[in-house]
Amino acid sequence: MSDTPKTDHAYDGIEEFDNPLPGWWKWLFVASIVFSPFYWMFYHGGASGRSVEDLYNVALAENTRKQFEEIGELKPDEATLASYMNKGSWVKVGQAVFRANCVSCHGREGEGKVGPNLTDEAYKNVANLEDIAKVLINGAGNGAMPKWSNRLHPNEIVLVSAYVATLRGTNVDGGRPPEGRTIAPWPAAPAESDADAESDADPAGDNTDDGK
């Protein structure tokens, strides 16, 4: 160490060894500075479809499409709805559809805003599970509740309906007061074996059915 040349700095008798950074380190440093504006321009320069967020959304849509291929086109009938209500990871897909399209009128947890509370036991246009999907497909209240058949994939309609069905009875605080009439409980889910035969696909890939 004592052979190492010293710089000519000396402060209060404290001297400094002259140990320059290795050449390769300096070049990496310079290269990353040169690289950065190009990186920035490509990913953050505002060109659509290139930001990390856009790429994520594209990948997500692609993933959803693949999952939909696996489950085929779901029918908006009672048996299908009842079985998907109990597939936690699919209910989450329904929840994502809800968060993207429905919260402006029904509230983030379904507690109701312009649209009725979906977390109580009373419904205006719904008497059974199938009616939820019907309301979504056809709209209700003379268009106050828009129709979604031309905006959502049929599977999205089934999955968001299943999600809405799971909200029943969660009675979120501060929700709109009940409207309509109290209806009979949802039917029990079909036997597990049926449900499994219908779909082994698990969008979250973790095989957890945690019911939310």
Q: Is 140 in the site for ligand HEC (CB under 6 A)?
A: yes
The one among 126, 158, 159, 162 contacting ligand HEC by CB under 6 A: 126
The one among 74, 85, 136, 158 contacting ligand HEC by CB under 6 A: 136
Q: Is 123 in the site for ligand HEC (CB under 6 A)?
A: yes
Q: Which of 117, 137, 120 is nearest to 171 (CA)?
A: 120
Nearer to ligand HEC, 9 or 212 (CB): 212
CB 4 within 8 A of CB 18: yes
Q: Is 144 in the site for ligand HEC (CB under 6 A)?
A: yes
CB of 129 to ligand HEC, least distance (A): 11
Residues 6+ apart with CB under 8 A from 163: 91, 94, 95, 97, 98
CB 76 within 8 A of CB 161: yes
Place of tokens 């990871």: 89
Q: How many residues bind ligand HEC (CB under 6 A)?
A: 26
Nearer to ligand HEC, 71 or 167 (CB): 167
Among 10-18, 51-59, 144-152, 195-203, the segment contacting ligand HEC (CB under 6 A) = 144-152
CA distance to 12, 56, 58, 70, per residue, from 42 (Å):
50, 16, 17, 35
Site for ligand HEC in 154-193 (CB under 6 A): 160, 164, 180
Query: d(Cα 27, Cα 151) in Å, to the nearest integer?
Result: 53
Among 25-33, 84-92, 119-127, 184-192, the segment contacting ligand HEC (CB under 6 A) = 119-127
SS3 content of the chain, % helix, strand, coil (to 5): 45, 10, 45
Query: d(Cα 51, Cα 92) in Å, to the nearest integer?
Result: 25
Helices 154-167 & 129-138 angle (0-180, nearest 10) = 130
The one among 71, 129, 132, 162 contacting ligand HEC by CB under 6 A: 132
Torsion of CA 125, 142, 81, 61, to 10 degrees: -150
Q: Is 107 in the site for ligand HEC (CB under 6 A)?
A: no
Query: d(Cα 19, Cα 62) in Å, to the nearest integer?
Result: 53
Site for ligand HEC in 45-104 (CB under 6 A): 98, 101-102, 104
The one among 71, 82, 145, 158 contacting ligand HEC by CB under 6 A: 145
Binding site residues, ligand HEC, CB under 6 A: 98, 101-102, 104-106, 114-116, 118, 123-126, 132, 135-136, 140-141, 144-146, 148, 160, 164, 180
